[in-house]
Amino acid sequence: MLEFHSLLNLLFMKPFFLFALTLVLSACHQPVDNTQLLQSRLDSLEAKLADSYKPGFGEFMGSIQVHHNKLWFAGQNENWKLADFEVHELMEAIENIRKYQAERKESRMIGMMTPSLDSVNAAIRSENVTFFNRSYKSLTSACNECHRATEFEFNVVTIPEDPPFSNQDFKTRGNR
Ligand code: HEC
């Protein structure tokens, strides 16, 4: 019985021990390999990040210009759902400037839009054209105030006369 046991030990336990030892040794080795692997992955990620596309300040402004325009026609047509959508697109673009253009000194001034945006939002909620028009004018003044403060005064924002695109209907379904 005892002999049989030591035979078992020899046959199974020794290979198992060797296997376990190999595992432990390879685990000890891993940190070195992993660090090199991680470093090379980090390097390639950094290279990808440096090459990745990030919209510029002017591109965000181009989008702001379109939503500022559409917002006006939505309000004039008392299409409050569309007006709400447009003002939120405008606010999203402003948030994106804060996030993606944080290093530009002009971005520090973006908060000056908040009071007039709050007012436009309140006008949309109350579905009141007179209140909307007043708020929209103060929003437009805030655009120009920042353009002057950032020496971009030659770009003058106005109350639009025509919608930006001919393929969009600003009326609500009932008014078409
Ligand atoms: C935080 C300051 C700031 C505010 C607020 C601001 N702008 Fe600008 N805007 C700028 C700066 C700076 C530029 C120049 C961007 C560049 O370097 O390309 C610019 C550029 C523009 C351009 C030119 C982009 C082009 O492609 O021709 C338009 C149009 C524009 N803004 C519209 C607006 C409108 C509409 C508003 C308000 C709803 C507004 N801006 C609010 C700072 C501001």
pLDDT tens, position by position, 99-154 = 999 999 999 999 999 999 999 999 999 999 999 999 999 999 999 999 999 999 99
Distance, in Å, from the CA atom of 88 to the CA atom of 82, rounded to the nearest integer, reads 10
Is 41 inside a domain boundary?
A: no
Q: pTM, whole model, 2 decimals?
A: 0.81
The closest residue, in CA terms, to atom 14 on ligand 1 is: 58
Is 85 inside a domain boundary?
A: yes
Is 50 inside a domain boundary?
A: no
Backbone angle region of 44, left / alpha / beta, with phi > 0 → left and psi within -120 to 50 → alpha = alpha
The closest residue, in CA terms, to atom 18 on ligand 1 is: 58
Count of structural domains, the chain: 1
Distance, in Å, from the CA atom of 100 to the CA atom of 119, rounded to the nearest integer, reads 26
Is 33 inside a domain boundary?
A: no
The atom number, within ligand 1, closest to the CA of 65 reads 35
Q: Which CATH number does the domain housing residue 150 bear?
A: 1.20.120.290
Cβ 90 vs Cβ 64: under 8 Å: yes
Residue 89 belongs to domain spanning: 57-158
